[in-house]
Amino acid sequence: MTLRSTLTAAAAATALALLPNAAQASVRYPDPRPVTGQQIIHDPSVIKLKSGQYVAYSTGGIIGARLSKDGKQWDDAGNAFAEPPSWWYEYNDTGDPWAPDISYRAGTYWLYYAVSSWGTNHSAIGVATSDSGLPGTWKDHGKVFSSETTDSWNAIDPGVIKADGKLWMAFGSYWTGIRMVRLDPATGKALPGATVGQLATRPDLPYAVEGPYIVKHGRHYYLFASYDACCAGVNSTYKIRVGRATDVTGPYVDSTGKPMLEGGGDLLLEGHGRYLGTGGQSVFQDQGQDWLAYHYYDAEDNGTPKLGLNRLGWVNDWPVVK
């Protein structure tokens, strides 16, 4: 590096340090991929179907659905279900489902979701199956796992992964953070008497971590989670953090070695510019490329929650948003 380039770099660094936080964040984080059509979404779970279409399921409606032919233009496709299954009303008066997770296994699409009410851990996770993965084709199979007010965890925000021939579900929101339970591959439901492990938490109340999603890359498993507060429009402080482990059940640590059970987790993506409160994330693959799907609150549209999509790269075996 020449003296001139050294001075230029130093000047740029000084200028960056003087920028407002939002401007610094804009330099640090790339904007989401431009999308058109029905952009409004919350807690998106995206997959590319065998048909070649993309589908995104989300919180809102009876598990709201969006369809796309190219991953850029998204169209409203109604809901996963025509009517809420009757058992949902045990957990809220409106039969309102949250935070779906779609996956494909053994020739079948599996859709996990949560039903609960704001501020309580009287909650349950359910599952449905479909041959095509399209809205309107799902058959519900009832409860997978539940929690009561006497439990120290909250059974919402499911994220399912198959690892070493076993099926696992990460879940959790606030209370004592992120938990994990083993599932029966045949039914997709929690094994009777299965131990509930713990993957991540915060050192202080209210343990604001939720929305787990686990992927495998190379020899590691990576736990993505949303930290801090969602659902407050432009006042949302949601951000995505990540840790990794050599075993799907943990322990997960960040790049400094700090355990996620002690509040660790590398900051992957946070609000910047107009894109505030980034979280509710999931990861999907398209032609060998990993993509991060999430929602953000649009500061230039009254804090409306919208779909964020970014390529996910890997540098020194850690994920990087592109």
3-class secondary structure for 112-131?
EEEECCCCCCCEEEEEEEEC
Do 37 and 17 reside in the same domain of the chain?
Answer: no
193 shares a domain with 53? yes
Reference 245, options 237, 255, 233; nearest CA is 255
Let me know whether 20 and 121 are in one domain: no
Question: Do 149 and 279 fall into the same domain?
Answer: yes
Tens digits of pLDDT across the chain (322 residues): 332 233 233 333 333 333 334 443 444 899 999 999 999 999 999 999 999 999 999 999 999 999 999 999 999 999 999 999 999 999 999 999 999 999 999 999 999 999 999 999 999 999 999 999 999 999 999 999 999 999 999 999 999 999 999 999 999 999 999 999 999 999 999 999 889 999 999 999 999 999 999 999 999 999 999 999 999 999 999 999 999 999 999 999 999 999 999 999 999 999 999 999 999 999 999 999 999 999 999 999 999 999 999 999 999 999 999 9
Cα 318 to Cα 217: distance, rounded to the nearest angstrom: 9
Residues 4 and 137 in one domain: no
Q: Are residues 196 and 104 in the same domain?
A: yes
54, two tokens: 């993309």
Helix (H, G, I), strand (E, B) or coil at 201: coil
Active site residue 90: no
Residues 79 and 120 in one domain: yes
Which residues are CB-neighbours of 227 under 8 A, at least 6 positions away? 202, 208, 209, 238, 239, 240, 241, 265, 279
Domain that holds residue 6: 1-29
Q: Which of 96, 101, 157, 210 is catalytic?
A: 210
Same domain, 4 and 40: no
Tallying the residues shown for the chain, one arrives at 322
Token match 């779909």: residue? 307
The Cα angle at residue 136 between residues 132 and 137, in degrees rounded to 5? 35
Q: What share of the chain is helix, strand, coil (3-state, %, to 5)?
A: 10, 45, 40
Residues 21 and 42 in one domain: no
43, 96, 101, 270: the active-site residue: 43
**In this predicted structure, what is the pLDDT of residue 28?**
83
Say whether 231 sits in a helix, a strand or coil.
coil
**Strand-strand pairing, 139-147 and 289-298:** unpaired
3-state secondary structure of 281: strand
Q: Into how many domains does the chain fold?
A: 2
Separation of alpha carbons 69 and 104, rounded Å: 19
What does residue 17 show for φ and ψ, rounded to 5 degrees? -65, -25
Is-catalytic flag, 148?
no
State pTM to two decimals: 0.91
> Do 234 and 313 fall into the same domain?
yes
Distances from the Cα of 149 to the Cαs of 48, 95, 122, 146, 169, in angstroms?
37, 19, 6, 10, 20
The closest of 205, 167, 170 to 187, measured between CA atoms, is: 167
Q: What CATH number is given to the structural domain containing 313?
A: 2.115.10.20
Tell whether 15 and 49 lie within a shared domain: no
Q: Let me know whether 23 and 112 are in one domain.
A: no
